[in-house]
Structure 1
Amino acid sequence: MLSSLCSLGTKVIPPVRTGSFALGSARYFNDYSPSKIAAARKEMIRLRRLDQYAITLDHLEQFGRNCDDKKFLLSAQFCYRELPIRLAYRIYDLENMPFGMSNMSTTKTVRDWYIYSLIDMLDFGRPKTYDDAVAFTEVLRNIYDRHSGTMEMMARSVFSVKEEIERSGKMDTELDPIKPALDSFYTSRIGIRILLEQHLSLEEQMRDPIPGYTGIINRNTNPYDVAQLAIDQAQQVCNRQYGQTVPVSIYSHKDRTFSYIPSMLRHILFELLKNSMRATIEQHEFDDELPPIKVVISDGDNNSDIIMKISDEGGGIARKNINRIWDYFYSTSKIQFLGKDGTDFGIDSPMCGLGYGLPLSRLYAQYFGGSLEIVSIEGYGTDAYLYLKKVGDQEEPIQKLLKPSL
């Protein structure tokens, strides 16, 4: 599939070489003059008339397996064909956010990152040779790094809107239109990051192959091993925050595997475990011992899904609040920003973080056909159920944009 799409590249996005480049080992420099931005905006109108191509894990894995120079060039050409379209869609989103979010400096900063990234790719042009693909990959690496602070910047915008709503005396329900807008933006961002990470990883693995891996996809992802890694990392964060941690028990076969993106699974489990650990410590603050968190992994031969349950005795969630846990502006603790250079979630993040853990984890789970559900007993504890498809044939959820009129 990817190879056939790459052949469309010249027709869909003709090469536009209007800038000069200084390519280094890890950075790429361009100027973003008003005339270039104006030209990019004109190109955005055309790009937003084009359809995005939905991919599956199977597409990525099968295409990238045994990557050679030819496949690497095709991968670069696909990124050149697809990413500008997705960036154009997201720029439109950022300029049409509800509650005046689009006018906030933090949102404008993120929007500018997307415009600069679009200019970078269009200026470079469609890679035609392997050497072009190598140079273009440096452009993509710079783009990937540029957007690492997006979560923090957008969280600041949401936090500012929430503060304004609270000052006006309105209810949090007034913020309801923000959720679908952010869901759309972040879902697309996941797809963009996956395409970038997959291509960058293919380049690295051409030099240094990793058994079982095709880019960021591991054909032998072991849920037990990933869960253990997420537990270790969550306990590090918990110990740093509280000076103690919560014991965790895993109930699972240790040799079950499936094809998935381990980093995505680790992120989901890490966020769920952080929530459970914080709730457990705060609920049992004066107890001699902390009740363990239980992680149960079900993977029967006839299961269509990998099912993971995380159970805690952290006091649960009030029924009136259970639906609000998926809101980006709902948090039971004070938001902790990382600073202007804060990156995507990792073990250096604070225990409470941006208040985005659950809604983003659900988007990650849903991206390739899974789901995340929360069941809570107020006064006792919470169960989180994570479902992931065993078969990677689910297309990513590409959201269509209304065709703009001229």
Structure 2
Amino acid sequence: MIRNMSERNHGFARFVSRALGVRQIMSNRVLEASSGKSLQVAENSKSRPSQALDHHDLLPKLGFAEVYRVRSNIGLLIQDFARKPIPTLTYEYLTQYKPPLTNNEKYVLAIKTINQLLTYTCRRLVAVQKLPYIAVLNPNIEETNRLYLKTLESLLSMDYPYGLHDQASMQGKLTEFLDDHQDTLLTLSKGFQEIMGLYPEKEVVFEFLNAHLRDRIIMKLLATHYLKLVSQVDPDSLMIGVLHKKLKVSELIRRVAEFVGDLCFVKYDQQVPVNISTGSDIEFSCIPTDLEYVLTELLKNSCRAHIENSTSENPTHEKPIEVAIVRSDDTLEIRIQDYGGGIPPKVEDRMFDYSYSTVEMDEKDTGMSAFIIPGAEVSNVSGMGFGLPMCKAYLEMFGGTLDIQSLWGWGTDAYVKLKGPQSKLLR
């Protein structure tokens, strides 16, 4: 416990030089970005040297009162940003700038992206501190906390305003952020697996995980959108940042089905056919990576059910999974119908809980996924049952839904409803 507290305090001390005076600077940045004013990029912004001072070496020379004041300021900084309101992420936000971006648009987008990432990061730090004491002491959860402290340090280290003009610097910071948070769910899921049996009030943990997944998805989406949008130069491109204007849905489903089939072959030495019965020619505007994740999780569940419930009398692994695609204006609906025996009634009501998982206990204990390629353990969070909750989080972020209907002994139908942007936003 003492070691964990010491490491946490050391994490605060690492970015002590950014605590003094940064609250007012960052507040001004939020106001500047939200005002909608045209911000002109100075021609000599890249050549102007940074005036930021490195005070890391001064910390050991400070007295107790000064160190306490600095750390208190950092705590207040985190609280301040955690309380700042953030507008709901919408397609209007993602399509407000279209490629190619002007220097002024890149600068404003950089301000908005950094400000929102700062607020989401501070919200996660505050949320961790509000967890039960047994959770905060868990080394895996503490590692997640330290990672968000590192992210906060990195974001605050941006030299405002001139560092935001430097596109290479911005890309480096956001790429580092995405790399750092690539495998955080695996670490977090291990931590909560270790404490769930000791802490009876699981609703508190589930509430934390709901908010954590939502904020994590948004943070990664904001960073990825910036990186893609500033690098797109073709005005006729089908992409606006992370948004695809005319995605051929059937092609994405076939790619996902092929990927899931490879996973099944590695694990079971069998594959399940996937048949698209309706809507092969439908195009839709959406974020392909979000839809790809949802389809992958659902097809993994269906294929696994087909294979594991297959018998000589009823070889379900040979029956195709049926997929139907329907579009109505800015709404896409996909039905995935399998014949894998359905969901047991005793767990059907809990399938969207984080504690629900059909992975066998020996696989849970080792942290292995039901579908895992050797060497790809970092993608697994199945031990906590993150799959379906994350699918819901992805879809609900833009007003979509995920409904599951199961007939025990027969099969399961999954209904995906995805909302897309209005056509006027794409012009």
| Shorter-chain TM band | 0.7 to 0.9
The one-letter amino acid paired with 2:110 is A
Q: What residue identity is the alignment partner of 1:248?
A: V
Q: 1:248: how far off?
A: 0.6
Range moving further from structure 2, 179-188 or 280-289: 280-289
2:321 and 2:339 in contact (8 A); partners too: yes
- Residue identity in the other structure for 2:170: F
Q: State the partner residue of 1:40.
A: 74
CA distance in structure 2 between the partners assigned to 1:389 and 1:277 by the alignment: 26
Whole-Å separation in 1 of the counterparts to 2:38 and 2:121: 16
- State how far apart, in whole Å, the 2-side matches of 1:48 and 1:372 are: 30
State the Cα deviation string for residues 227-277 of structure 1 (Å, max 9, x = none): 112111111111111111111101233332222100110000000000111
What is the CA-CA distance between 1:136 and the residue it aligns to?
Answer: 2.3
Equivalent in the alignment of 1:87 = 121
Q: Does 1:377 align with 2:377?
A: no
1:103 aligns with 2:137: yes
Q: How does 1:146-157 map to 2 (within 5 A)?
A: 146-157=180-191
**Matched residue, 1:400:** none
Partners of 1:369 and 1:304 in 2: how far apart? 11
Q: 1:55 to 1:262 in 2, by over 3 A?
A: same
Structure-2 change in CA distance of 1:329 and 1:354 (3 Å)? closer
CA distance in 2 between partners of 1:128 and 1:258 (Å): 39
How far does residue 144 in structure 1 lie from its aligned partner after superposition?
1.4
Distance 2:142 2:172 in 1: 25
Name the CA distance, whole Å, in 2 between partners of 1:351 and 1:52: 28
Change (3 A) 1:304 1:60: closer
* Preserved contact between residue 100 and residue 232 of structure 2 (Cα < 8 Å): no
Amino acid at match of 2:224: E
Tell me which residue corresponds to 2:318: 290
Q: 2:367 aligns with which of 317, 337, 346?
A: 337
**Residue number in structure 2 paired with 1:117:** 151
- Gapped runs of 5+ residues in structure 2? 1-30, 40-49, 61-66
Q: Does 1:319 align with 2:345?
A: yes
Correspondence list, 1:181-200, <5 A:
181-200=208-227
| CA–CA distance in structure 1, aligned partners of residues 73 and 172 of structure 2 | 23
Cα gap change, 1:236 to 1:351, in 2 (>3 Å) = farther
List alignment gaps of at least 5 residues for structure 1: 21-29, 394-406
Residues 57-115 of structure 1: CA distance to partner in whole angstroms, max 9, x if unpaired? 23212324332333222211111222111111111112222473222111111111111
* CA distance in structure 1 between the partners assigned to 2:77 and 2:344 by the alignment: 49
Structure 1 residue 384: Cα displacement? 0.6
Counterpart contact for 1:77–1:126, Cα < 8 Å = no
Query: Cα deviation per residue 1:291-329 (whole Å; 9 max; x = unaligned)?
Result: 2111111114xx552110111111111233212111112
* Contact 1:337-1:354 within 8 A present in 2 as well: no
State the match for 1:398 in structure 2.
none
Give the distance between the partners of 1:151 and 1:179, measured in 2 at CA. 14
Kept after mapping to 2: 8 A contact 1:375/1:384: yes
Residue 296 of structure 2: aligned partner = 270
AA in 1 matched with 2:107: L
Q: Do 2:158 and 2:164's aligned partners in 1 also have CA atoms closer than 8 Å?
A: no
CA distance in 1, matches of 2:275, 2:383: 25
Change beyond 3 A, Cα 1:188–1:6: farther
Name the SS for the 2:421 alignment partner. Answer: coil
Q: Which amino acid aligns with 1:378?
A: W
In the alignment of these two chains, the number of paired residues is 363
The CA RMSD over aligned residues, in Å, is: 3.3
Structure number with greater Rg is 2
Q: Judging changes above 3 Å, is the alpha-carbon distance between structure 1 residues 269 and 348 closer, same or farther for their aligned structure 2 residues?
A: farther
C-alpha distance 244-292 of structure 1, shift in aligned 2 (>3 A): same
1:156-305 mapped onto 2 (5 Å cutoff): 156-164=190-198, 174-206=201-233, 211-286=237-312, 287-288=314-315, 290-300=318-328, 305=331
Q: Report the CA distance shift for 1:124/1:37 in structure 2 as closer, same or farther (over 3 A).
A: farther
Name the amino acid aligned to 1:384.
A
Q: How far apart in 1 are the matches of 2:254 and 2:51?
A: 48
Secondary structure class of the residue paired with 2:351:
helix
User: Counterpart in 2 of 1:396?
Assistant: none
Tell me, in whole angstroms, the C-alpha distance in 1 between the residues paired with 2:378 and 2:236: 26
Aligned CA distance change for structure 1 residues 101 and 317 (closer, same or farther; 3 Å): same
User: Quick one: distance in 2 between partners of 1:121 and 1:205?
Assistant: 24
Moved more, 313-322 or 374-383: 313-322
Determine the C-alpha separation between the residues in 1 that align with 2:409 and 2:51.
61
CA contact (8 A) 2:99 2:235 kept: no
Taking a change above 3 Å as real, the CA distance of residues 293 and 243 of structure 1, as seen in their structure-2 partners, is same
Cα distance in 1 between the residues matched to 2:381 and 2:136? 29
Higher relative CO (CA 8 A, sep ≥ 6), structure 1 or 2? 1
CA distance in 1, matches of 2:177, 2:379: 22
Over 3 Å counting, the alpha-carbon distance change for 1:156 and 1:353 in structure 2 is: closer
